[in-house]
Structure 1
Amino acid sequence: MKYLEYKGYTGSIEYSPEDNLLYGKVLGVRGLISFEGETGKSLEEDFHEAVDVYLTDCKEKGKSPEKPFKGSFNVRIPAALHQKAALLAIETKTSLNNFVAEAIRSKVTNEPV
């Protein structure tokens, strides 16, 4: 799947054959910020406008805009897997955080660990 990028925000791209319409939402934020368009160009323009409106609304309300994909998240895994990862991290003289980051990096870039 391809994505739209603007001012640090990422938007999804979906298609509704029933409506003959492209649509999407801003990913990585809790609130719903959606956009649509009949062409790729109009979808991208509406995405930019949606992000700009969100940022303006936050500024007018005196609140900080939510930062998408801030680099921190909780992961729940089985205790046995947690133990194996923690022990391997110790053996390789790295933190569990770095061990997990490297495992994810390897998976998303299709490189072996």
Structure 2
Amino acid sequence: MTNTMSYKGYSARVEYDDEDGIFVGRIAGIRDVVGFHADSVSELKEAFHEAVEDYLETCASIGKEPQKAFSGQMMFRVSPDLHRKAAVAAELAGKSLNQWAEDVLSRATVDFR
């Protein structure tokens, strides 16, 4: 079961709030906080679409560029042992560590395109 939704290039994570008996979602990957909720899955989908449309309309009306584009550069730290294993895996695959990591991340995030 997936707890994500996608629409017009935007994704959202969805959770069920048992206390209120509703589904609650939030658009991911943007700096603004844009949430939505509904009582049923079909209503949730509609609410998500409305939230994206409202976000885009609001950005346009205030002259703000919606969702900043990502630079494509990532820097993160891993243990030396994991770094070694990744470098060896990349070499065995005949790729640079960057190429290998991009392939691995691409496969791991296929549902979020």
The TM-score, its normalising length taken from structure 1, stands at: 0.74
Q: 1:34 to 1:64 in 2, by over 3 A?
A: same
CA contact (8 A) 1:9 1:68 kept: no
**Root-mean-square deviation (CA), in Å?**
2.8
Cα deviation 1:23-65 (Å, max 9, x = unaligned) = 1111222321100001111111111111111111111222211
Instruction: Quote the residue 1:54 is aligned against.
Output: 55
Aligned-pair CA distance for 1:77: 1.1
Deviating beyond 6 angstroms after TM superposition, the runs of 4 or more aligned structure 1 residues are none
Q: How does 1:1-113 map to 2 (within 5 A)?
A: 1-67=2-68, 72-86=73-87, 89=90, 92-105=93-106
Cα deviation 1:55-85 (Å, max 9, x = unaligned) = 1111122221115777553322124533553
Question: How many residues get paired?
Answer: 109
Q: Which amino acid aligns with 1:47?
A: F
Alignment partners' CA distance in 2, 1:46 and 1:107: 27
Give ranges in structure 1 of 5+ residues lacking alignment: none
Q: 1:23 to 1:63 in 2, by over 3 A?
A: same
Aligned-pair CA distance for 1:8: 0.5
The TM-score, its normalising length taken from structure 2, stands at: 0.74
Q: 1:76 to 1:14 in 2, by over 3 A?
A: same
CA contact (8 A) 2:3 2:15 kept: no
| Overall identity of the aligned pairs, in % | 35
